[in-house]
Amino acid sequence: MPSGGQLLAFLVASLVIILIPGPSVMFSVGRALAYGRRKAVLTTVGNAGGEFAAAALVAVGLGALVQQSALVFNVVKYAGAVYLVYLGVKAFRDRKGVLKTPEEGPERAGLPLFEGFLVGVLNPKTILFFVAILPQFVDAGTGSATLQMLVLGGIFAVLAVACDTVWVLAASAARDMLNAPRPRRVLGGLGGASMIGLGVAAAAAQRT
């Protein structure tokens, strides 16, 4: 385990980064506007799982491939961007079919979890972020560096779920106040458009 001081410093640094609205928040809010609370919360959990998977890749040394290889970076980047655009188009096309609240009717929990996971793990910027930050909080004198980075990645994922869920609940509450079909369709369209825009922005991102 990291030392107490390093763990506290990592918690503070993680909260500062997570609390600043970024692509993860935009994705979660877009899902909330398009589909409502339940699906968006599940997506947020899946997205955090993808972020933890990215931290695990860094912990075992695979993150260096993304950092050093432009080809690997671009493959991951474009795969994630295309998937985001796909989810956005899907949300836009589904906007007439999500007028009911998420609690009405059965829904597979695994699909939004999987969708969120793919978006989280197919973000090369997340991998590069963990490459840059995780080693700084590893205490070489307290045990395995790999295990410590896995623990730190898990902590980051838990914090991300907690904070992003607040945004999801706020967005879905606003959506739930609009019971008329037309506003719901408009919000669904906005949610889909935001995900498409996020995918385009991800495709344009440069390796730094």
Domain boundaries, the chain: 4-13+23-204
Give residue 139's pLDDT: 78
Nearest to 207 by CA among 78, 85, 74: 74
Provide the residue-wise pLDDT of the chain in tens; the chain has 208 residues: 666 777 888 888 888 888 887 888 888 888 888 888 888 999 999 999 999 999 999 999 888 787 788 888 888 889 888 888 888 888 777 765 554 444 444 456 788 999 999 999 988 888 888 998 888 888 777 778 889 899 999 999 999 999 999 999 998 888 877 665 566 666 667 777 777 887 788 788 776 6
| Longest Cα–Cα distance in the chain | 60
Q: What is the pLDDT of residue 163?
A: 93
DSSP H helices in 95-206: 110-121, 124-133, 145-176, 181-204
The per-residue pLDDT for 181 is 58
- Rounded Cα distance between 176 and 101, Å, is 8
* Cα separations in angstroms, 44 against 66, 139, 180: 24, 30, 26
Listed residue (12, 29, 11) closest to 194, CA to CA: 29
The pLDDT value recorded for residue 173 is 86
Residue 169 pLDDT = 93
